[in-house]
Amino acid sequence: MPTAREELPDFREAFSLFDDRGDDKIPKHLFGEVVRALGLNPNEAQIKGTVQNLKTDRISFEEFMPLYDSLAKKKDNNMTEEELIEGESPLSRDVLIDTAMN
C-alpha cells in the first residue's frame, strides 16, 4: 500500500479542490472533509483535537500533511480486514439495496 508521501501529487490535487480562495490553503473547518476525501475516517473528536491548536483559520498543504499523517497513524482510522468483514451483514446490504432502488 502506498504511503501518503508516495501519493503526494494526488494529495495535492485533492487538497486544491477545497482551496476556496486560490491561496493554496484550505479553511480549517474543511479539514475533516479533506482527510475523508483522502480515505481516512476520523471522528469529529479526532478532527477537532488535530486542528484545535492551530492559530490560523486556513491550513497550507505543508501544514496539512503532518496533520494528515498524525491521523493516519491512529488505530481507529485503520480498520482490520476482520472489522470490515464483520461490518458487512445481510441487513446492511439490504438497506443499501433498498436505498439505491428508491
CA 27 to chain centre: 15
- How many CA atoms within 13 Å lie on the side-chain side of 62? 1
For 7-43, write each residue's pLDDT tens digit.
788 899 999 999 999 999 999 999 999 999 999 999 9
For 80-95, write each residue's pLDDT tens digit.
555 445 554 444 455 5
Q: Which residue, 13, 64, 62, is CA-closest to 35?
A: 64
Domains of the chain: 8-101 (1.10.238.10)
How high is the pLDDT of residue 94? 55
Angle at CA 1, nearest 5°, toward 7 and 28? 45
